[in-house]
Amino acid sequence: MEVVIAAQTKMPFAAQGLFMDAQHNVAIGTWDEIRTAYHVARAGTVSGAAEALGVHHATVIRHVDALEGRLGVKLFQRHPRGYTPTEAGRDLLQVAQATDDQFGQLVGRIRGRGEAVTGELVVTSLTTVSPRLTPTLARFRRAHPEVVLRYLTDDRLFRLEYGEAHVAIRAGAPPEGPDNVVQPFLTQEVRLYGSTEYFEERPTPKSEADLTVHDFVALDHGNSRAPFQRWMDEVVAPERVVFRASDLAVVQDAVVSGIGLGFVTTWEAERHPNLHPVLDSREAWSAPLWLVTHVDLHRTPKVQTFLSFLKSEGKFW
């Protein structure tokens, strides 16, 4: 980082403003050079400054000489016992000490912020996870009131490597990505349901053969990766699908409304006592859930605290 000093030479350095003058900026050296000079003044010797900074004594001498060369003044009087700051050196070092203290305070604040469970936490998943995840998020925030939550639901995958989310809950095959940390979470159970209103007009199917006389609601995705949708494409005739929607939450609303039979997560079905399962549950209809984080954020206290909380809560989902 280059630091600058005003071009006027008759004013003392501290009064001119060491780092920036709005009208005339003159580069005088790097922060390393100024910090080195500061430590020389504190220690009084080149060897003492070198030990404090963890560098070779030749580096200390080179930094001081370069700084004095750019300023055109002597910052130290050399004598057999060491280095003593000149008047110009004292002006410069007064500002350097204040800057070094400010950097130290800044590092402390940054480290403290990184260790605290505060600030924004962005979580993303499909909307079908919301019946379980949203109450969990509410309990997490009660435990950590300084956290601001953002819950993003969309069919598109939010890019963790671009910082779009801290934690993603994804369904299906294990997510790929060299910079992602992927952990197995739970299985989202999906079943075929019909509503009380629907069955007032239609008989309850007892087998797949009985499905030929029933209406269905489905996703409006021709290439959906959802395992239950693939099963429906294979078993149900296209003309029996009377309602399609691009969002599974809308499909579930349509099933609740009695438009036809359709797939609903068991989490969502618990909220609608008018829904009744059709046929036996099949493992092929359900999908595994994965916890995904980016390697750069995975070990941060906020993400680790949330992951631990989520896994503990997930035992009761």
Q: What would the pLDDT profile of 267-284 be if each residue is shown by its tens digit?
A: 999 999 999 999 988 888
List beta partners, residue 147: 119
Distance CA 250, CA 182 (A): 29
Give the end of a domain, one of 72, 90, 115: 115
**54-63, 85-94, 307-316: lowest mean pLDDT where?**
85-94
Q: Are residues 305 and 165 in the same domain?
A: yes
187 phi and psi angles, rounded to 5 deg: -110, 130
Distance CA 51, CA 60 (A): 10
Q: Are residues 81 and 172 in the same domain?
A: no
Give the end of a domain, one of 115, 143, 173: 115
Q: Are residues 80 and 143 in the same domain?
A: no
Q: Are residues 6 and 108 in the same domain?
A: yes
Q: Are residues 101 and 137 in the same domain?
A: no
For residue 234, pLDDT over 50 is answered with: yes
Q: Are residues 19 and 67 in the same domain?
A: yes
DSSP letters along 243-264, please? EEESSHHHHHHHHHTTS-BEEE
Write down the mean pLDDT value for the chain.
Answer: 85
For residue 22, pLDDT over 60 is answered with: no
Task: Please give the pLDDT value at position 106.
Answer: 63
List, in sequence order, every beta strand (DSSP E) within the chain: 2-5, 26-30, 76-79, 82-85, 119-125, 147-153, 167-171, 180-188, 190-195, 216-219, 241-245, 262-265, 275-278, 287-294
Distance CA 93, CA 85 (A): 9
- Number of domains the chain is built from: 3
Q: Are residues 24 and 107 in the same domain?
A: yes
DSSP state of 223: T
Q: Are residues 154 and 76 in the same domain?
A: no
CATH of the domain at 137: 3.40.190.10
pTM of full prediction above 0.75: no
Q: Are residues 64 and 8 in the same domain?
A: yes
203 vs 18: which has the higher pLDDT = 203
Tokens of 227: 């395992």
| Domain with 23 in it | 2-115
* The length of the chain, given as a count of residues: 317
Helix (H, G, I), strand (E, B) or coil at 301: helix
For residue 5, pLDDT over 60 is answered with: no
Q: Are residues 224 and 306 in the same domain?
A: no
